[in-house]
Amino acid sequence: MQLVVARIGRAHGIKGEVTVEVRTDEPELRLGPGAVLTTEPAAAGPLTVAAGRVHSGRLLLRFEGVRDRTAAEALRNTLLVAEVDPDETPEDPEEFYDHQLADLEVVTVDGTVVGRIESVAHLPAQDLLVVRRADGGEALIPFVAEIVPEIDLAAQRALVDPPPGLLGEEPGDAGPEGEGFVPGEPSGGPATRPAPDTEDPGQGSSR
């Protein structure tokens, strides 16, 4: 299956490097030298990573055949897409790829069926489960252990313990929408479910 792992930003310098907006928790694996990536739009690729480095907190990549600033700038806003084995799973048991969570039935701890997970939104602060409610509306549920205490892939079920008001709001107002919120767009990294005592849920990669 295909997962978006990065978006190309502006050109950096004159030798073909580009900045990238990383959309995976595994950049060393997905964006390392030798990685072959398809693109959106398709005409921009495929692209093979020749080298990468971090500069001022940003990842810079150089692709084979992209040798100058003009060629690099032509790739701006291109999405980089990786081929991922559908059976691949994260090593951490508290991490899940988006496709593993998609279509799971969402049930509250008291047995009420909320709906089904439609996609996962990866925001800077935390991951959100985008749930299509049984009544046709939409709910955004923070993917943290105190609210989503159990993911049972065998039973295709997500157990939730929502705080008061989380599921009682009007569709569209059930959670924050911020920069980077793209419902339905696949991510190249696993969704993480921080534990209640995690100091910064936006930075942790496991419970």
pLDDT per residue, tens digit, the chain (207 aa), is 788 889 999 999 999 999 999 888 778 888 999 999 999 999 999 999 999 999 998 999 999 999 999 999 999 999 999 988 777 777 677 778 888 899 999 999 999 999 999 998 877 678 899 999 988 999 999 999 999 999 999 999 999 999 999 987 544 444 444 444 444 444 555 666 666 554 433 333 332
Residue 153 pairs in a beta bridge with none
Enclosing domain of residue 137: 95-192
Residue 128 pairs in a beta bridge with 121, 142
Residue entry with tokens 């990294």: 189
24 domain-assigned = yes
What is the CA 80 to chain-centroid distance, rounded? 13
Residue 44 token pair: 């921009």
200 domain-assigned = no
Structural domains counted in the chain: 2
User: 113 and 54 in one domain?
Assistant: no
89 domain-assigned = no
Domain boundary among 55, 83, 111: 83
Q: What whole-number distance in Å separates Cα of residue 191 and Cα of residue 95? A: 6
User: 102 and 78 in one domain?
Assistant: no
63 domain-assigned = yes
User: 112 and 29 in one domain?
Assistant: no
**CATH number, residue 121:** 2.30.30.240
